[in-house]
Structure 1
Amino acid sequence: MVAVTLFSAAQMAHARSQIQHGKLVSSMGKQAKTEQVTVKGNSRVSATTHPAGQTTYHSDRGNFGNQVGQSVADMVVTIPGVSFTQGNGPRDTVVSVRGSGDRQSYGLKNLQVLEDGFPMTQPDGTARADLIDPHAYAGVDVFEGPASTLYGNYAINGAINFRTRKGADIHGLEVGSDFGSFGMFNNYATLGLGNKHYDLMIFGSDVRGNGFIANSRYNTSTENVRLRVNLTSSDRLILKFVNNVTDAFLPVRLSLNQYRANPYQQGCYNAVNAATGCASVNLLVNGRYGTKEAMSPEAAGLGRFDRRTVVGLRWEHDFNARTIWRNQFTYDQRHIDQPTSPVAYVGPYNSYNASSDITNHARLGGKSLETFGGISFDYLDFGSQTYNIMPLGGATRGAMNSESYGHQWNLGARFQEDWHFAPNWHVVVGLGGTYSDIGATETLYSYSATGRDQRYITANRFYFNLAPEGALIYTPSKKWTFHTRVGTAYGTPSSSNLFITPQGQYGNNTQLKSQTSVGIDLGADWHPSSNMTIQATGFYEFYNNELVSQSAGVNTVGSYTFNAPASQHRGIVLGVEWKPLPTMLPGGRIKLSYTYDNQVYTNYTEVLSNSTVSRSFSRKGNYIPGVIPNFLNARFLYDQPDGALEGLGGYAEVTWRDSYWLDNANRLKAPGYALLNLEVHYNPPTRLGWAHRLHWYFEVQNVANQTYIAGATNISDSLQSNGQQATARMLMNSTGSIYAGSPRAYFGGVRIRF
């Protein structure tokens, strides 16, 4: 983790180009020492938009390249303001920036996700981490806070840009294998070539394992290619290709009582009663109507069998040394086959994204002025079906439960000015806007002995949102930088939100509004010496119509999403990097990241119903469920810089997550946890000749063998027959929420470069 906040226009232009082409090789976080930023290659102006004045962190390969690298969690664990939970599958990590995805059960939500500047978030706001094998990447950049001015729809809490490795840095072929507990085995290879005319990176991996929960074995393959070709001194083409196939069996989420009784769902193939802590799904025996039979996820054959393919092409043209124009097109297909509940969800999601933007550097009043402007258009069309699953094993499909066809498109424009109006000051202003169109028709089928009935629900929604922003940055000395920013953001509902009722069944929820936010950041960077970097940022964000989701149980078809009329997010993000004994222990470092995230409803009334009565309950002042209020990561690292043991290193890591509420009434909490991880690695020095090409590592995760909750989705409150809300003891039996984390695990790996 390296902390970054802001730079001069000239420095930012230079750094942006390096980020885009994967050329950033040293700290951009030391504003006090911007003259010492080291980059390679030419100093082209912006290719990846960086929100000047926005709190930003980077994690480079040095933070995750020496370990098992199972998922994106390994890439972001040291970044302040970023947390993660377990999603639906081995690499489906739910990544949150300031709590953006804490209320989701899968993917990266309320964020715009990029890879090498190409969009990885589809027009409906869906991005998934299955695509990401950390072995392919040089680093990740996280832009925190409302960011719709530059990133458009769904950038409610910011944006993330993943950077693949540069071919010229690889300079040959690398092959490696990771192996360890629960049958995990990952074979991967990376080919990298490059010179001043082109740069090519080709990566492929195949990872498989049995998982530590029953019915969680998996096999995932990933291919990733990036090619840059310099056509002329002023023109460049960048080609991007990503393909991922996920073949994963999937357990179902547990209630808190089930988790406590049997967190890993062992011995549950034929046991489905609550006393054993075994989860089950209720399946229609004839696949249409009538009698249901309870089956374990393993016996039913639940899982995810998905494919994702992304192809992108960008042309960059330099009009002159101060102006760059780039045009980009991306095709993204997501095809899913997901028997993850009593129904199987099947269908393709094809999306297209086109954008064009210009960055110009000029002088105004003798001071540097950077101007950025761009337009974008993305389009998604989909046709999906859901089928009842029958209790015959292998996720056997019965009759069709529903089908949905529709589209979503977003047309956006954005503009930003960054002016250094005085030697130690600069100001940033910007404005972005998006017009969104969502149109979909869902057909619901019901069956009886006399035949089939069908019902239609149509959604035709149009949204227009604006996002202004402003930032002021003051750098009084090389040791200090202060910044304040007012940012805004918005996110429309996705089509899937519009068709799930509070009961977790398919139906009409088409009244949903866009969520919007206004956020204020106030922060400082302090660099008292070359051995210490500290960044602290306080944030206060005001939300209108925040979109919050909750599960009605495992035997439902999906999570219900609602608008909370008003809510507030406030907190502190702190990052520290310190060499405590630079003379006595030059290879020793401490990395610390801490986030305090306090999110409350300020206006929301929830209606609960039973068979005879409905009652309203004010949630004003309640904590928003699913949000982890405190999380901390501390790493104590050592890498021997010289001598006989040069290249030998390792770390001890402590990760702490606080307990958090699971329901709107704040009656039930998911318990917190603290984990200890240990790692040792060896990168032989160049003086050892051919042995320098060999790398190995060994690590132990969850050393104390803690039983902990790796992911818990929000649950619905309910109304008892006496008109009172369900108690915490009752909510402990609410299913569809909890995945346990891994018990103690051992991993090792080797990598050789040719």
Structure 2
Amino acid sequence: MGSLQAVAAEAPAPAFPHPARASHASPSRPKRKAHPVESILVKGQARGPVTLSPVGQTTYSAERKDFANHVAQSVADMLVTVPGASFLQGNGPRDTVVSIRGSGARQSYGLRNLQVSEDGFPVTQPDGTARADLIDPHAYEGVDVFQGPASTLYGNYAINGAINFRTRSGASIHGLELGSDFGSFGMFNNYMTLGAGNRAYDFMLFASDVRSDGFIANSQYATSTENMRLRVSLSPKDRLVLKFINNVTDAFLPLRLSLNQYRLNPYQQGCATAAGAAAGCGTVSLFRNGAYGAQTAVTPQQANLGRFDRRSIVGLRWEHDFTPRMVWRTQFTYDQRHVEQPTSTTAFVGPFNSYNVQTDLTRHDALGTTPLTSFVGANFDYMDYGYQVYALLPQAGATRGSETSTSYGHQWNIGLRFEEDWQFAPRWHAVIGLGGTQSDIGAVQTVYSRSAAVTRAQDITANRRFFNLAPEASVVFTPDKAWTWHARLGTAYATPGYSSFFVTPQGNYGNNTQLKSQSSLGVDLGTEWHPSASVNVQATGFYEFYRNELVSQSAGVNTQAGSYTFNAPASQHRGVELAATWQALPRTLPGAKLRLSYTYDNQIYTTYTEILSNSTMSRSFSRKGNLIPGVMPHFLNARVLYDQPSGLFEGLGGFAEVTWRSAFFIDNANLLKIPGYGLLNLEVHYDPPARLGWVHRLHSYIEVQNVADSVYAAGATTISDTLLANGQQAGASVLAAKTGSIYAGSPRAFFGGVRVKF
């Protein structure tokens, strides 16, 4: 959701996120310099600068030069240099769990509490689900991350901000590129990029096929991706943009481990069969008849657990200039996500079809003698879905047994939003805005219980409507060319998901529609210091107040469903983000540069009482003051880069990179921590200079990841605390045996690649 991009009429690629943020240049407005940490201006040929960074909102960008010269297998490789962005391994090779300021850190898959788009077309479905499988970094020019509560303009689920991925323009490609990456664990990625463009049109087509045996048992995969964008200028006042994405993911999945299992056998070796499994292997217990009764323990290899999914997106945008200062944009996007996921004891199967319509109007005007940009937009999106869940049989081929549940339903969101951007003085900007969304969620779930004597079916119907408002205000002060200061007050909301409505607080299958939307209010205060071309520093402090966060907890003793979803009353998220680029010796070593990004993220519950249960009793425990599980308090990335600008070795370059993540809790009682880690990566590449003739068309690299061969947890989902028979909480030693949490990260790996341009 959210509004459309700001686009210069003759610019080869659209900017993000929406026209209200696009301000025309004026003689009195201080111009900001371009720099590697945050891209600020995209220059059109006739309209002047288009502001890429939302006015007053903390924004960081990663550009192609940050990730294009190395193996770049997933979105994590694109975002590793972005402060505030952390990531964990999801369920599949590219299913990266991206977190902005801790958003979605408790998820086991995808991107939650964020609005995600590509070239301005939404890739977050109306239920708030976005996945990173469809992203092959080779196709992209860059990514922009807009941080903090942002529902004013991005709508439902933008509770921690928004991300826009920008594909390469055809004009910048200007021909055909063929490339291949290869390396450890049998990894091969063959890809192709075709592009051409001028003032009348711009065309980009990308396709890739990546395969690997994986470094964990039962983690082999094959993924294909196609991505296309076409811009056509129909007239001086009209433009069309056509977008197409298709992704097929065929991935086998290992099981997530307990901390004890991870310490014993992080890569799950010797786990082919349950009978002969080595220590530290994960198994699942499946009904022998696929419905009820006796069970058999099997390994992921025996059951062929995995994900076999397809995602197809097509979008069309029309842009029309009523006058040189007023533009109207309308776009339609169709998005189908079809899943087949035998990932544990059950197989989840079904299509999710979504439709999104957005329209907005932007006018650049004046209030007296001062520039004023006005924006108004509307959106409507709709998703219908129907999925079935089957028990798995303990045999090869992920064989389905009986049906355990079905769910059919819909969700739609309709929103209106406006914003005023007023440059009330030469060095000052003020922005105010208001957005609102009406959401409707309706679903019917059927739950089956089976025994030798009888099969029972229970139907549960849920229907809820939510209305949410999100105001925002910000101010930007640019006292001189070296400094920029910004302050922002933003708000956001996220409605509950349909699956949370089917278990009551009493733990029975039934209607749980008393749930509220979760909401946030955030304050940002930040600065950017750019005294020269060789130094750039950006720092932001944030403090965010959350209400009614949606969490799961026990419903009591021996209940039908065990746990239910409820609203945790209050929590606070606060932290600091820092990005710096320093060219220490611009004259003696002009190709050397240091880049640093660091985030401190402290999140606590301020009002939350959790219920734990065992077979005979339930007890309540206050979590006030506890750290929110899954959130890394510290994460840092530092790179020393060098590219030889001239001479015999012109075009030779590389970097040494250190990535550090601190330890973090994975339970609400703050008893069990996942160990932190530090990784060293090395990369060397060669781009021959133009003076070497046809050799200039070649690019090559070699890379070593995890040079020290460290064992580390790349993904760790939260676990529930345990109530002992004596009514006390179990300690860390008991929690360390709880399975379903950890995926190990890659051991030392070697990669290389070549790319040739025609």
Q: TM-score range by the shorter chain?
A: over 0.9
Q: Does 1:722 align with 2:720?
A: no
TM-superposed CA distance for 1:409, in Å, is 0.3
CA distance in 2, matches of 1:655, 1:185: 25
Size of the aligned set, in residue pairs, is: 735
State the SS of the aligned residue for 1:216.
coil
Corresponding position of 1:300: 303
**Alpha-carbon distance change, 430 to 742 in structure 1, aligned in 2, over 3 angstroms:** same
CA distance in 2, matches of 1:607, 1:653: 44
Please point out which of 596, 617, 639 is paired with 1:635: 639
**Alpha-carbon distance change, 729 to 16 in structure 1, aligned in 2, over 3 angstroms:** farther
TM-superposed CA distance for 1:471, in Å, is 0.4
CA distance in 1, matches of 2:10, 2:461: 44
**Alpha-carbon distance change, 567 to 359 in structure 1, aligned in 2, over 3 angstroms:** same
TM-superposed CA distance for 1:507, in Å, is 6.9
TM-superposed CA distance for 1:124, in Å, is 0.3
CA distance in 1, matches of 2:333, 2:72: 27
TM-superposed CA distance for 1:523, in Å, is 0.8
Please point out which of 237, 245, 250 is paired with 2:248: 245
CA distance in 1, matches of 2:727, 2:10: 58
In the alignment, residue 20 of structure 1 is paired with which amino acid? P
Q: Given that residues 43 and 50 in structure 2 are in contact (C-alpha distance below 8 angstroms), is that contact kept between their aligned partners in structure 1? A: no
In the alignment, residue 724 of structure 1 is paired with which amino acid? Q
**Alpha-carbon distance change, 47 to 124 in structure 1, aligned in 2, over 3 angstroms:** farther
How is 1:527-606 mapped onto 2 (pairs within 5 angstroms)? 527-548=530-551, 561-606=565-610
**Alpha-carbon distance change, 661 to 503 in structure 1, aligned in 2, over 3 angstroms:** farther
Corresponding position of 1:665: 669
Please point out which of 670, 681, 703 is paired with 1:677: 681
Q: Does 1:708 align with 2:712?
A: yes
TM-superposed CA distance for 1:669, in Å, is 0.5
Q: Given that residues 303 and 338 in structure 1 are in contact (C-alpha distance below 8 angstroms), is that contact kept between their aligned partners in structure 2? A: yes
In the alignment, residue 650 of structure 1 is paired with which amino acid? G
Please point out which of 709, 730, 736 is paired with 1:732: 736
CA deviations on 1:641-679 (whole Å, 9 max, x unpaired) are 111111100000000000000000001011100000000
**Alpha-carbon distance change, 162 to 15 in structure 1, aligned in 2, over 3 angstroms:** farther
Corresponding position of 2:472: 469
Q: Given that residues 103 and 550 in structure 1 are in contact (C-alpha distance below 8 angstroms), is that contact kept between their aligned partners in structure 2? A: no
CA deviations on 1:557-582 (whole Å, 9 max, x unpaired) are 99965421100000000000110111
How is 1:363-402 mapped onto 2 (pairs within 5 angstroms)? 363-402=366-405
Corresponding position of 2:233: 230
CA deviations on 1:138-186 (whole Å, 9 max, x unpaired) are 0001101111001000001100000000001101000000000001000
Corresponding position of 1:20: 14
**Alpha-carbon distance change, 687 to 501 in structure 1, aligned in 2, over 3 angstroms:** farther
Corresponding position of 1:458: 461
In the alignment, residue 194 of structure 2 is paired with which amino acid? L
Q: Does 1:197 align with 2:184?
A: no
**Alpha-carbon distance change, 675 to 213 in structure 1, aligned in 2, over 3 angstroms:** same
TM-superposed CA distance for 1:47, in Å, is 9.4
TM-superposed CA distance for 1:461, in Å, is 1.2
CA deviations on 1:227-268 (whole Å, 9 max, x unpaired) are 000000000000000000000000111110010011111101
State the SS of the aligned residue for 1:267.
coil
How is 1:350-369 mapped onto 2 (pairs within 5 angstroms)? 350-369=353-372
Please point out which of 114, 134, 137 is paired with 2:140: 137
Corresponding position of 1:34: 32
Give the gaps of 5 or more residues in structure 1.
Answer: 1-10
**Alpha-carbon distance change, 109 to 504 in structure 1, aligned in 2, over 3 angstroms:** farther
Q: Given that residues 480 and 526 in structure 1 are in contact (C-alpha distance below 8 angstroms), is that contact kept between their aligned partners in structure 2? A: yes
Corresponding position of 2:26: none
Q: Does 1:279 align with 2:277?
A: no
Corresponding position of 1:405: 408
CA distance in 1, matches of 2:46, 2:563: 47
Q: Given that residues 15 and 52 in structure 2 are in contact (C-alpha distance below 8 angstroms), is that contact kept between their aligned partners in structure 1? A: no
Corresponding position of 2:96: 93
CA distance in 1, matches of 2:411, 2:475: 36
Please point out which of 46, 61, 66 is paired with 2:64: 61
**Alpha-carbon distance change, 343 to 585 in structure 1, aligned in 2, over 3 angstroms:** same
CA distance in 2, matches of 1:558, 1:107: 25
**Alpha-carbon distance change, 175 to 503 in structure 1, aligned in 2, over 3 angstroms:** farther
Please point out which of 307, 310, 317 is paired with 1:314: 317
- Stretch of structure 1 that moved more, 426-435 or 270-279: 270-279
In the alignment, residue 34 of structure 1 is paired with which amino acid? R
Percent identity, aligned pairs only, is 68
TM-superposed CA distance for 1:102, in Å, is 1.1
**Alpha-carbon distance change, 39 to 518 in structure 1, aligned in 2, over 3 angstroms:** closer
CA distance in 2, matches of 1:254, 1:194: 50
CA distance in 2, matches of 1:357, 1:591: 38
CA distance in 2, matches of 1:251, 1:502: 33
In the alignment, residue 602 of structure 1 is paired with which amino acid? T
**Alpha-carbon distance change, 260 to 551 in structure 1, aligned in 2, over 3 angstroms:** farther
Give the structure-2-normalised TM-score.
0.93
**Alpha-carbon distance change, 457 to 12 in structure 1, aligned in 2, over 3 angstroms:** closer
Please point out which of 610, 614, 622 is paired with 2:614: 610
In the alignment, residue 733 of structure 1 is paired with which amino acid? A
Q: Given that residues 655 and 682 in structure 2 are in contact (C-alpha distance below 8 angstroms), is that contact kept between their aligned partners in structure 1? A: yes
State the SS of the aligned residue for 1:131.
coil
Q: Given that residues 61 and 139 in structure 1 are in contact (C-alpha distance below 8 angstroms), is that contact kept between their aligned partners in structure 2? A: yes
**Alpha-carbon distance change, 666 to 174 in structure 1, aligned in 2, over 3 angstroms:** same
Q: Does 1:112 align with 2:147?
A: no
- Stretch of structure 1 that moved more, 38-47 or 427-436: 38-47
CA distance in 2, matches of 1:580, 1:570: 32
Q: Does 1:152 align with 2:146?
A: no
**Alpha-carbon distance change, 638 to 614 in structure 1, aligned in 2, over 3 angstroms:** same
Q: Given that residues 274 and 297 in structure 2 are in contact (C-alpha distance below 8 angstroms), is that contact kept between their aligned partners in structure 1? A: no
In the alignment, residue 461 of structure 2 is paired with which amino acid? T
State the SS of the aligned residue for 2:32.
helix
Please point out which of 334, 347, 350 is paired with 2:350: 347
In the alignment, residue 728 of structure 1 is paired with which amino acid? A
CA distance in 2, matches of 1:214, 1:506: 37
CA distance in 1, matches of 2:506, 2:14: 45
In the alignment, residue 32 of structure 2 is paired with which amino acid? T
Q: Given that residues 199 and 227 in structure 1 are in contact (C-alpha distance below 8 angstroms), is that contact kept between their aligned partners in structure 2? A: yes
In the alignment, residue 397 of structure 1 is paired with which amino acid? R
**Alpha-carbon distance change, 509 to 581 in structure 1, aligned in 2, over 3 angstroms:** farther
- Stretch of structure 1 that moved more, 454-463 or 626-635: 454-463
TM-superposed CA distance for 1:415, in Å, is 0.6
CA distance in 1, matches of 2:120, 2:211: 29
CA distance in 1, matches of 2:396, 2:68: 40
Q: Does 1:123 align with 2:126?
A: yes
CA distance in 1, matches of 2:422, 2:392: 60
Q: Given that residues 500 and 508 in structure 1 are in contact (C-alpha distance below 8 angstroms), is that contact kept between their aligned partners in structure 2? A: yes
In the alignment, residue 675 of structure 2 is paired with which amino acid? P
